[in-house]
Structure 1
Amino acid sequence: MTEVHGRVWRSGKPVDGFAFSDISDCLADDDTLVWADIYDPDHDALTALAEELGLNLWAVEDATAPKERAKATVYSTHTFFTVYAVQCLTLPSDDDVASTLARHRISAFVLPRGLITVRLPPVEGGDPNFGIDQVSQRFDELGGQEHGVGALVHGLLDVVVDGHFDAVQALDDDIESLEDELFADDGPRRGLQRRTFRYRKDLVELRRVVLPMREVVSAVKSRRLDSKTAPELDPLYDDLYDHVLRASEWTESLRDMVTTVFETNLSLQDARLNTVMKKLTSWAAIIAVPTAVTGFFGQNVEYPGFSTVAGFIVSSAVIMLLVAALYIGFKRRDWL
């Protein structure tokens, strides 16, 4: 079901009573700034709005098309971009399969005096309004309408990038916990291999979201430099771009880390198996000695000491000496 929310600022002050039907009138007023947020949009209504505002129809199709990648496109009258906000989910302790991340797709049309965001329901679950309320808050913190629509776009992208940082930090902590489990005295708990694959899959999905953000922020920043509007926001966009680069580099390093965890776990499993095999082989050799000696003395043939106490004592001494020699030898080689 389509939900529409928004805010209007006129002469630098917020105005109550936002109406979806008044968007075009607000955008036509030089002293007005409008932000319209459309959740789960109706395609026909969105197309009609696009025709009224002169938005590119292919961009409208991209805003509602499934599985669209994060990207940015600059048109003559507006800029269109698609990004993904990421939310960390809390899963049951016994769930080693479900994803720990929920992606929220946000498409935006940046106009000279307005911003129209189009959000689709998250497929993986999570709060449908995740992070969207923070956009207005950060816009107000920057001074509101004083810096124009650039401050509103910066607030949106800043919230998205901060969500990426939170997701990367959460995955980093989870992967470090896997490393601690690997070298625990009692060994890793059950399901470590599945959890490793889950984090690896989450990192692949996060990488697809984080890496294209460089293109998005760069395109928005370049369009701002061309328009020469609110130059005081340029350092903020530079800082935002730096955060995007850091998130990308962090994601790449985590991919290497989770691969190392996976390979180390296999190596440790081989090492544990070798230790078990050495112990089993050692005890089998030790047990074979009394079996061989008693089997020899149990033959139905006469030999020195047959049916005498001396023969029993000699056989027992031979068993004890050989067993002790084998035990000491294996112990020195760390097989026992």
Structure 2
Amino acid sequence: MANPLKLVSAQPKGMPGVVASAVYAGGRRVLEIPIEEAGEWSRKPGHVVWIGLHEPGLDLLRRVQAEFGLHELAIEDALKAHQRPKIEQYGDALFVVARTAQMVEGRIAFGETHLFVGRGYVVSVRHGASTTYTPVRERCEAAPKALSEGEDFILYAILDFIVDNYMPVIETIQEEVEEIEDSILTANQPQNQIVRLYQLRRDLLRLRNAAVPLVEVCRRLEQPGMPGVDAAMQPLFRDVSDHIRRVQEEIESLREVLAFAFESSLMTGQSQQNEITRKLAAWAAILAVPTAVAGIYGMNFDVLPELHWKYGYPFVLTIIVLTCTWLYWRFRRKQWL
């Protein structure tokens, strides 16, 4: 008699939306299964079905819903993919929403992951900018003893992976912020640098709004009585909470640095404008002297004192040069020129 665990039911090739669909027993992958067999396998003692979906359509979600009896509201949330990070309990099943983030062309791109967790199954639904969870699956399969804990360990592994992926985003921004700090007091500061500072600060605010609500999600998973979460797994979710708080601290620190850099940029720009204004005012004062003298002698009067004097013209030119030179010296001394 053939061992039923050796019978492989082939996954349909090119099925849109399905990244992986496998059943595990004792922490080891048993076989790949189609969606239509997932519910049957999840009800077998000691087996866990792990399905990964990427931007599925309504038809595929309905098929998954039929296999596991997922709640209608959770299906609607998973289809819309514009949800705030949260955890909802529907009977003996959990619905978790987490926001993902990664750098795309210098900006933080956000995505969503929706997790359906119940006795004997985990379904992950990815939308938008999100790294594939294949590394998570491979890491779990490499540790069969931990994976044998079941669906709550898979939930922990995915949440931990999401939170860990926040750090490369923060580190990339941190490197750019350090470069901006080095050039913040340069004489010729480009306008696009100020715009970039504002963009980074706004992106970090969105990242904080995506990460911080996960603290509440993990806090609820730490509490006793959550369906599908064993007491032995609760410290792992507490560890994820610690990682999120670290991410929050890094974000707040970077936002303070960016705020200082933004203010410094504005102050530097204002200082440069004031310096240009002083220079223009100083040169205007210097040029006012010959302009005034030339204006006086340009009037049609015949009784000007030096008009018929032999040395009147050189005398006036000398007065103009001396006055302008004195003004130039005074402005230079006051650092207006």
Q: Which TM-score band (shorter chain)?
A: 0.7 to 0.9
Cα separation, 2, equivalents of 1:138 and 1:225: 25
Aligned positions of 1:75-224 closer than 5 A: 75-91=90-106, 100-120=107-127, 122=128, 126=129, 130-140=131-141, 142=143, 143-185=145-187, 187-222=188-223
Residue number in structure 2 paired with 1:249:
249
Report which stretch shifted further, 274-283 or 144-153. Answer: 144-153
Residue number in structure 2 paired with 1:36:
51
Confirm or deny: 8 A CA contact 1:4 1:20 kept in the other structure.
no
Aligned positions of 1:260-299 closer than 5 A: 260-299=260-299
Unaligned runs of 5+ in 1: 92-99
Confirm or deny: 8 A CA contact 1:73 1:219 kept in the other structure.
no
> Equivalent residue of 2:335, what SS?
coil
Cα-to-partner distance string for 1:212-243 (whole Å, 9 max, x where unaligned):
11122222232578877362x44433221111
Following TM superposition, by how much is the alpha carbon of 1:54 offset from its aligned partner in structure 2, in angstroms?
Answer: 2.9
> Equivalent residue of 2:287, what SS?
helix
Cα separation, 2, equivalents of 1:27 and 1:6: 12
Report which stretch shifted further, 149-158 or 16-25. Answer: 16-25
Confirm or deny: 8 A CA contact 1:131 1:159 kept in the other structure.
no
What amino acid is the match of 1:287? L
What amino acid is the match of 1:3? V
Following TM superposition, by how much is the alpha carbon of 1:323 offset from its aligned partner in structure 2, in angstroms?
Answer: 1.4
Cα separation, 2, equivalents of 1:133 and 1:63: 20
Cα-to-partner distance string for 1:87-134 (whole Å, 9 max, x where unaligned):
11125xxxxxxxx122221101112332111223x2xxx5x6x23112
Cα-to-partner distance string for 1:169-226 (whole Å, 9 max, x where unaligned):
22333334343443123x2224234323432332333233112111222222325788
Confirm or deny: 8 A CA contact 1:134 1:159 kept in the other structure.
no
Confirm or deny: 8 A CA contact 2:219 2:241 kept in the other structure.
yes
> Equivalent residue of 2:148, what SS?
helix
Cα separation, 2, equivalents of 1:227 and 1:33: 12
Cα separation, 1, equivalents of 2:81 and 2:49: 27
Unaligned runs of 5+ in 2: 1-15
Confirm or deny: 8 A CA contact 2:26 2:148 kept in the other structure.
no
**Alpha-carbon distance change, 15 to 112 in structure 1, aligned in 2, over 3 angstroms:** same
Q: Structure 1 length normalisation: TM-score?
A: 0.84
Confirm or deny: 8 A CA contact 1:38 1:118 kept in the other structure.
yes
Following TM superposition, by how much is the alpha carbon of 1:309 offset from its aligned partner in structure 2, in angstroms?
Answer: 4.6
> Equivalent residue of 2:177, what SS?
helix
Cα separation, 2, equivalents of 1:114 and 1:197: 43
What amino acid is the match of 2:124? T
> Equivalent residue of 2:311, what SS?
helix
Following TM superposition, by how much is the alpha carbon of 1:164 offset from its aligned partner in structure 2, in angstroms?
Answer: 1.7
Structure 2 counterpart of 1:11, from 26, 47, 58: 26
Report which stretch shifted further, 105-114 or 79-88. Answer: 105-114
> Equivalent residue of 1:41, what SS?
coil
> Equivalent residue of 1:286, what SS?
helix
Cα separation, 1, equivalents of 2:149 and 2:297: 101
What amino acid is the match of 1:286? I
Cα separation, 1, equivalents of 2:163 and 2:228: 24
Cα separation, 2, equivalents of 1:311 and 1:3: 98
Cα-to-partner distance string for 1:121-180 (whole Å, 9 max, x where unaligned):
x2xxx5x6x231121133235544233223211210111111222222223333343434
Confirm or deny: 8 A CA contact 1:37 1:118 kept in the other structure.
yes
> Equivalent residue of 1:147, what SS?
coil
**Alpha-carbon distance change, 223 to 55 in structure 1, aligned in 2, over 3 angstroms:** farther
Following TM superposition, by how much is the alpha carbon of 1:60 offset from its aligned partner in structure 2, in angstroms?
Answer: 1.9
The CA RMSD measured in Å over matched residues stands at 2.7
**Alpha-carbon distance change, 44 to 19 in structure 1, aligned in 2, over 3 angstroms:** closer
**Alpha-carbon distance change, 297 to 326 in structure 1, aligned in 2, over 3 angstroms:** same
Residue number in structure 2 paired with 1:310:
311
